[in-house]
Amino acid sequence: MTSENNGILPINLVNRNLSHEFLVEKTVEEIKKHKYINPLYDAGFKAFLSDEHTLLSFLNGVFQTDERNRIESVVIKNTEINIIFPAVKQFRLDIRATTSNGLCFNVEMQKARPDYFVDRVLLQHSAFVLQSKYEWDQINFGQLSVDISDEERAKREVHRYEIPPTYAIWICDFPVGKQNDFRGTWAVRNEKGLTLSEKIKYIMYDLTKFTKTFEDLKNDEDRWLYLLKHAGSAENLPDFNDDVIAKAINRLLVNKASDKLLKEQADDMVFTEEQLDRMALARVRARAIVLAEGEQKKAREMARALKTMDVPIEKIVAASGLTQAEVEAL
């Protein structure tokens, strides 16, 4: 993620003594100076895409469908998933949906790169697959009855491990490792590049590599990514003469946003900036530790060399900065 915050209130280490509520209030004031709510934060993202007509257009853009294989309809599902490990672990997804032809999607917006990002993608998708499998079983077989027939039981057993196609779509506002283009489609493959299954795929968007100008936009995928990337700083957004896009843009207008949406957006922004501060501080501390360890190593090497030359201990201590005990232990 870049350090640019599109003119929104910067929150840095100096602000740590300020209350979260105060920062939210100030951020709401800053949001009101802009025309559009930034969809790269959680609340804005959901306001922008969490509509079935909008999501349908976005997904058809992602998969670049034509009239023959176009996704015809989509149903947005509850975004909370509870998995028992044995303890209940809750996963809260940004957008979760199923299509008319049985595809399952999880669409995520990630403004800041968290620790163990790839692990998070894999773990969250595992929970998503389990939830999708459970719902797929319910649709196809219903609740398991105590007096189920042998024929029905056999039918269920055949499909015991069958899963529906599940796709994770991650839109990242930071560089995605091992990915050279703005889009990468990932799957489980062997050493020869053969895909184990077409049913589980990860589509990763790296907005830092999406550099297309308005004139470069060729399809719906380009148009949706362009809007996502530029809405937070734009004075005017193009609707491409598309009613669905026009309505999605209208939901981002600050002067039409509810107080609830503005507060949720500000809260997400403050939380993200605080998270970035913690990550930056951790990197500074890690670098200081590495540098200190490097200096210690150099000091020990110098002291060891001086000892082989029979230099007096007190002079080695003065030259190296080590203690007498450390020098004697070498």
Along the chain (330 residues), what's the average pLDDT of each consecutive run of 10 residues?
Answer: 46 54 89 96 96 96 88 93 86 93 94 90 96 92 77 86 97 95 96 94 98 97 98 96 98 97 93 65 57 72 78 76 80
pLDDT of residue 57: 97
Q: Cα dist. 90→104, 110, 123, 130, 290 in Å?
A: 19, 18, 12, 13, 36
Q: Which residues, at least 6 apart from 105, have a Cβ–Cβ distance to it below 8 Å?
A: 59, 74, 95, 96, 97, 98, 99, 166, 167, 168, 169
- Count of alpha carbons within 13 Å of 5, Cβ hemisphere only? 18
Which stretches of 86-191 are DSSP H helices?
117-141, 150-158
pLDDT of residue 66: 84
What integer best gives the mean pLDDT of the chain?
A: 87
Q: Which residues, at least 6 apart from 327, have a Cβ–Cβ distance to it below 8 Å?
A: 303, 307, 313, 316, 317, 320
The reply to whether the predicted model has a pTM over 0.85 is no
Q: Which of 178, 245, 243 is nearest to 217 (CA)?
A: 245
pLDDT of residue 45: 97
pLDDT of residue 308: 79
**Type of residue numbered 212:** K
pLDDT of residue 297: 78
Q: What sign for the dihedral angle of Cα 89, 81, 43, 177?
A: positive
**Type of residue numbered 296:** Q
Q: How far is it, in rounded angstroms, from Cα 70 to Cα 81?
A: 28
